[in-house]
Amino acid sequence: MPTQLSLTDLAARIGAEVRGDGARRVSGVAPLLTAGPQELAFYANPRYRKELAGTRAAGVIVAEHEAAHVPHGSATLVAAQPYVAFAKASAVFHRELTMEPGAQRFALVDDTAEVHPTAAISPGAYVGPGARIGARTTLHAGARVLDNAQIGEGCTLWSGAIVRERCLIGDRVVLQPNCVIGSDGFGFAFDLEGDGDGPMHRKVPQAGIVRIEDDVEVGACTCIDRATLGETVIGRGTKIDNLVQVAHNVRVGPLSLLVAQCGISGSTELGQGVILAGQVGVVGHLKLGDGARVGAQSGVSRDLEAGETVSGAPAIPHREWLRMVAALPKVADLLREVRKLSKRVEELEEEARGRGKPQAEALETR
């Protein structure tokens, strides 16, 4: 990890082009507002244009079309993918918490577990019978891998993360603190007879596992249930936020994003690159096509086509939802208006009947 880099050197590493003084040296990245003259900042959201104008940063990463807004005191680092360039720049200077390889004092490693010598097992971390831990993987204090589970290479299991028996975790997977992989699915059969003591919810054994592919991240306190039979699967490169519920037998495709507090019911399948925003709920046994996107707090109760964008509960096409929610607050007034309108129509009808009758009479009397 370098302590300082010239903007020119840094730009080369992150795929950006320097405009201005490339010889300036930076030692880290920082937000526009607080960045000092030895730090690199990043601008993308127009909400922060004021902060951009006032920044003291040595340089600012921006897209080409925003380059003109960078103030003269800062160099401009133009990038085709500014946020990607920022991520790379930050990674250049950031050092993740690392542990010494080997099992530390109070590490609880079963004699029958296979732990790679380059893996780090912290105090109070647990590796159960028959479990396998791959090269360069870190178990922080209190991470737990139960019997016969397998963890790949270069993974990070933060404190309190739990991988239950037999589950399979790929390479470079990150498990945030207190997440749970392989809890029992919520499977009960209502048994009218029970075992002689009246009706009961009889447990359906959750005999399957969870399989997590490479490069997945699982958020804090997120729960991924093991399959009833077979596998619950999280696809390669998918990222899951905190407090998410993934039920038994769900299959999430690669490169999907599941935002905080969303929940997916049993046996539902998500394609590649699906995005569920925060607090979304999806019912069971559905198929959500590649690239489907679901707006925050929505409830999905039908299959989604590839590329569909939906919102609302029950979810409908996003544009329709926008029109709908703009209209709904007017319904109370609409009710009154229609009531009045109905009266007016009634009066017209009465008037018409009144007009009709006398005319008829008039005809008769002619």
Closest Cα to residue 219, out of 207, 234, 208? Answer: 234
In the complex with a second copy, which residue's Cβ is closer, 68 or 331?
Answer: 331
Shortest separation between residue 346's beta carbon and a second copy, angstroms: 9
Residue with tokens 């019978």: 129
Report how far residue 133's alpha carbon sits from residue 149's, in angstroms, rounded to the nearest whole number: 9
In the complex with a second copy, which residue's Cβ is closer, 11 or 72?
Answer: 11
In the complex with a second copy, which residue's Cβ is closer, 134 or 263?
Answer: 263
Amino acid identity for residue 148 in this structure: N
Amino acid identity for residue 101 in this structure: P
Q: Give me the phi and psi of 135, to 5 degrees please.
A: -60, 140
Shortest separation between residue 125's beta carbon and a second copy, angstroms: 9
Report how far residue 267's alpha carbon sits from residue 246's, in angstroms, rounded to the nearest whole number: 10
* Kind and range of the H or E run holding 126: strand 126-127
CB 134 within 8 A of CB 149: no
Report how far residue 239's alpha carbon sits from residue 261's, in angstroms, rounded to the nearest whole number: 13
Shortest separation between residue 302's beta carbon and a second copy, angstroms: 12
Active site residue 116: no
Shortest separation between residue 142's beta carbon and a second copy, angstroms: 5
Shortest separation between residue 73's beta carbon and a second copy, angstroms: 20
Residue with tokens 């590493």: 13
Residues β-bridged to residue 209: 231
In the complex with a second copy, which residue's Cβ is closer, 23 or 359?
Answer: 359
CB 139 within 8 A of CB 145: yes
- Pull the structure tokens for residue 86: 């920022």
Report how far residue 54's alpha carbon sits from residue 256's, in angstroms, rounded to the nearest whole number: 37
DSSP 193: S
Q: Which of 116, 248, 285, 318 is catalytic?
A: 248
**Pairing mode of beta strands 188-191, 200-203:** antiparallel
Shortest separation between residue 358's beta carbon and a second copy, angstroms: 11
DSSP 274: -
- Pull the structure tokens for residue 59: 């340089």
Is the torsion defined by CA of 350, 354, 360, 364 positive or negative?
positive
Residue positions annotated with a catalytic role: 248
